Amino acid sequence: MLRLSIVILSVLVLLVINELWWRSSKHHSELNRKFVHITVGTFVAFWPYFLSWNYIKLLSALFIVVVLVSKHLRLFKSIHSVERTTWGELFFALIVGLLAFITTDRAIYAVSLLQMSLADGLAAVVGLRYGAKNAYRIAGNKKSVIGTLAFLVVSFTILTIYALHFGTIGMPVILSSAVVATLIENISPFGLDNLLVPLLVALMLHGF
C-alpha cells in the first residue's frame, strides 16, 4: 500500500509541475503534453518491477476516472489544451491496465509502453523542433518526416535492447515491429496510437 501511495503521489507531482510550467511560460502546449507523455509514460512502463499486476489494473481504472473528470472540468489545462480532437490521455490510461491483462512478462510490458512514451513522445518533440519544413498530412494527421524517422529509430532501439537482453526475437521481428508501430502512429486518429502501438508490440512480442 505504501508503494501504491508513493506512485499515485509521484504521478500527481509530475502533473502539477507540468501544469505550473504551462501556466508560467509560452511554450508550445504540445511540449507540455509530451513532457507528461514521456515522464509519466516511462515511469509507468516500469511499474511491474515494484507493483503487483492487480495494483496496476486498479491504477489504470483510477486514471481513467481522473482523465474523464479532468477533461470535463478542465483541471489540468496543460494536457487538454490542444487544438485537434484527441482522447490520447484516456487511451493512455486504458492501455496501462489492458497490458496487465495481456501479459505478465515485465519486460514485454515495459518495452510496449516505452514505444508510446519514448518513441512517440520524442518523435513529437523532434517534429516540433525540426519538422516545419518537412511536414505532411496522412489520414488527417499532421506529421513530419523527421518526426516519423525519430519514432522509427527510437522504436527500433528499444526493441533491439530488449532482444539483446532476452534474445527471444531476431532482426526481422525487431524491424517489422518498429515499422508497423511507426505506420500505426502515423495513421491513428484522435490519439488512438496511445492504445494501438503498445498493444501491437505486446502481441507481436508474445508471438515469438
Q: Three-state SS for 149?
A: helix
pLDDT tens per residue, range 46-79? 999 999 999 999 999 999 998 888 777 777 665 6
| Residue 74 grid cell | 478542465
Report the amino acid identity of residue 21: W
| Residue 98 grid cell | 489492458
| Residue 79 grid cell | 494536457
pLDDT tens per residue, range 9-50? 888 888 778 777 767 766 556 677 788 889 989 999 999 999
φ, ψ of residue 143 to 5 degrees: the values are: -130, 180
pLDDT for 120 equals 92
Handedness of CA 29, 34, 37, 40 (dihedral sign): negative
Surface-to-core class of residue 172, CB atoms within 10 Å of its CB (0-12 exposed, 13-18 middle, 19+ buried): exposed
